[in-house]
Amino acid sequence: MCGIWAVFGSSSDIFIHCKAAFKIAHRGPDAFRLESIYQFPSCCLGFHRLAILDAQHGMQPMRVSQHPHVWLIYNGEIYNHLQLREQFGFQYDTHCDGESIIHLYARGGIEFAAKHMDGVFAFCLLDTASRKVYLGRDTFGVKPLFRIIMEDGFLSVCSEVKGLMDIARYQSNVKIQDVLPGHVETYSLNMKGQASFENMKQFHHIGATPSYTTAATPKGDDIMANIRTLLESAVSKRLMTERRIGCLLSGGLDSSLITALLVKLARERDLAYPIQTFSIGMYGSPDLAAAKVVAKHLGTEHHEIVFTPEEAISTIEDVIYYLESYDALTIRGAVGRHVPDVQYVKENTDTTVMLSGEGSDEITQGYSYFHKAPSAEDGDKESRRLCKDISLFDVRRVDRNSAAFGLEIRVPFLDHQFSSYYLSLDPDLKAPKNGIEKQLLRSAFNDTGLLPADILWRPKEAFADGIASPSKSWIEFIKDFAADQMIDSELELCSRNYSHNPPVSMESLYYRRIFEIPYSWTPKWSSDPSARKPKSNVTNK
């Protein structure tokens, strides 16, 4: 997890803007650098580093001896960087995976580079020879990237919105927009370093077969074997780290499968440390009990984080600040699960990289409302829609929660090869069967011994029920708290006071009020995600 920031074409001293770069310092606690560009004094690149590979030589902005006119800042992991070196004969200056971006660009241009990267990434690449700036983002938008482009040629780029807010507040008609997942944008610079937009191109779309040479080979028509092979390959790639790796374990199917595969691979590679697992819940919650069963079965070094509703609610303001969102479902998930979980990892262990099960519900049709799909084809369309929007919700939560504490969470279910293969399967195979969601995924790992049968076939728990105490759900706690902070007349005025996404409940109004303290603007990247959940899960008080 790192943070990138850049300005191009500043009409004032660039160092006036540089304080904004420190708004994302939490993303990279290990090192920081600001560097101006001698050919373009109105431009500056900033980088906050979480060192995962090549701590000694991987600092950014990155430049390499063979291509000194190329400057790179990026956030992410390029899992196939060694394969690319072999395939194209690249001569690397470092052991850092991101160096492959520079060599790919030099070989075939920016689209060629983006198409050949197996990983998750957000980058800003400056070519001073051609006077071009390129922005790019991975297919699912696992890594965030936002930008402002103004009529006078001022371009500003940042991993998070908060690093652009000073500009947005004091300029008229300014829009902060995200770089779309799976796209690259090209800007040209004039001799003063001022930017003008040239084009935006999609280099990959969700469900498409990867253009690069893949790490695993499907085994003919054996669908079950292919699912196992490709998911294990997805986990295997994500062991690429020089820091300690662990797993967020809820005890549900998705996180349990990822943990089981991680433990299997760790033993095969003879890692020097035991895999740490982390589960969270209120006293007596079903998730804590299930996670304990999985941890015992796999022999992990297990950590339970038990929280009270009051402890979780006390984090709401911080959660909204880091999430940069007022979406109720996203905030509930962040407050009730990841924030206490990730904070504990940071403060009590040396694990820096963690794997998580996010993305499975979208890819494999795990939400309970998929049982009500009119047809298998309709379910498949909804699955693809959720995948397209995942960067706005689940992926945002995972990124911001981990970045807030200088940690990194990786999501194997959103692997290019695994996701494209699973989405390509016949819709009838992927649809829920006999009242069981994700039956295809469960069946693929049946009889493998990776997990106890009662975990592999454990029905999906609604999030609020999984972490809750037996007496009261997490949603009930948080709704009651929010209602106590508001009065009914305030909600009645929402349609008049909020022209964009007016709050529809006391809870959503409470979140919106907090959100607008640091982010007093209209976010084009936020919308109501309630279609992905049963109405009973999102009906607000």
* Each residue's pLDDT tens digit, 492-530: 888 888 888 899 899 999 999 999 989 875 444 444 333
Task: Say yes or no: domain 3-202 is CATH 3.90.1170.40.
Answer: no
Three-state DSSP state, 237: helix
Do the annotations mark residue 357 as ligand-binding? yes
**146 in Cβ contact with 179 (< 8 Å):** yes
Which amino acid is located at 296 in the chain?
Answer: K
Do the annotations mark residue 391 as ligand-binding? no
Q: Which residues of the chain have pLDDT under 50?
A: 522-541
Distance (Å, whole) CA 310 – CA 478:
9
Distance (Å, whole) CA 152 – CA 482:
43
Tell me where in the chain the CATH 3.60.20.10 domain(s) lie: 3-202
Q: What pLDDT does 168 receive? A: 80
Q: What is the value of pTM for the model shown?
A: 0.93
Q: What pLDDT does 521 receive? A: 52
Distance (Å, whole) CA 405 – CA 426:
41
Three-state DSSP state, 433: strand
Fold held by 228-381+420-462? Rossmann fold (3.40.50)
Handedness of CA 525, 143, 250, 303 (dihedral sign): negative
Do the annotations mark residue 359 as ligand-binding? no
Under 8 Å CB-to-CB from 73, ≥6 apart: which residues?
4, 5, 6, 45, 46, 47, 60, 61, 62, 123, 124
Q: What pLDDT does 541 receive? A: 32
Tell me where in the chain the CATH 3.40.50.620 domain(s) lie: 228-381+420-462
2 annotated active-site: yes
**217 in Cβ contact with 224 (< 8 Å):** no
| Beta carbons within 10 angstroms of residue 458's beta carbon | 19
- List 2, 44, 124, 387, catalytic entry: 2
Secondary structure (DSSP) of 209-227: PPSSPPSS---TT-HHHHH
Residue 37, sorted as left (phi over 0), alpha (psi -120 to 50) or beta, turns out to be: beta
Residue 177: CA atoms inside 13 Å, Cβ hemisphere, count? 12
Distance (Å, whole) CA 44 – CA 27:
19
Do the annotations mark residue 356 as ligand-binding? yes
Q: What pLDDT does 416 receive? A: 96
Integer Rg of the chain from CA: 23
Distance (Å, whole) CA 175 – CA 271:
47
Q: What pLDDT does 464 receive? A: 57
